[in-house]
Amino acid sequence: MIEAYELYKSKFCKICEELVTFGLKEAQNREREKTMFQSAVNKAKEADKVRGVAVINEFLSYKKKVLTELGQVSDARVIDAKISELQEELNTVWDTLMGYELQLAEQLEEVNKDFERTMSDLSGTFTETVQNYFTQCRELELMHHDKLTETALLIMEKVVKNELEEELPEDLRLLFVDKDTITNAVNTSHDLHNQRIDNKEDDIVTRVGNSKESYNARISEGRYRGTDIE
């Protein structure tokens, strides 16, 4: 029985180690995608800022020139004309900046869609693989349960016939009073193991899903402008 348990333990630990290795690798992949996304957002916002500042600086230079000229003329018609030109230039600057803002919003909207698709694909692949690992755990647990049940019943038979070569500890001997008692004990152990496997699977899958949704919500809330996603 001890050899069977050690074999079960060894195989179970191997599955868990593979799962942990896979999970760490996928976590790195998700973080890399987040970093690339944030970098793309920052670059787009910085490029928009540089363009906007250039337009504003050009307008300020023009404004300074016009104000200087206004200080040198007294003709009302010339002054009105210069002011009208300045207002038109201001309107042009406003339209240009709003155009840049619209382009930025459209660009970031596309970047966001690509990012969400990528994260959904990563999350889906992760969930599917994790579920496969836990399926292996359940299959291994079932095989161990069947083997344990078979062994327990054989021991039970020997106890009844007083043919057991080794003396059982008192707490174990109490389980071998009849077939129902030992079977119930083995089944209870099996159910508890399956419950822990199921709970851990649900915990991992839920946390990854919640993390993805939380990050996407933060992106939407920030609306790509004025709020950095860190």
Nearest partner of 120 among 128, 109, 132, judged by Cα: 128
Q: How far apart are CA 175 and CA 171, in angstroms?
A: 7
Secondary structure (3-state) at 220: helix
Please tell me the predicted confidence (pLDDT) of residue 224: 42
Please tell me the predicted confidence (pLDDT) of residue 125: 93
Please tell me the predicted confidence (pLDDT) of residue 87: 93
Q: What is the Cα 228 distance to its own chain's centre?
A: 18
- State the DSSP H helix or E strand holding residue 58, giving kind and residue range, or none if neither: helix 2-70
pTM for the model:
0.78
User: Tens of pLDDT along 127-151?
Assistant: 999 999 999 999 999 999 999 999 8
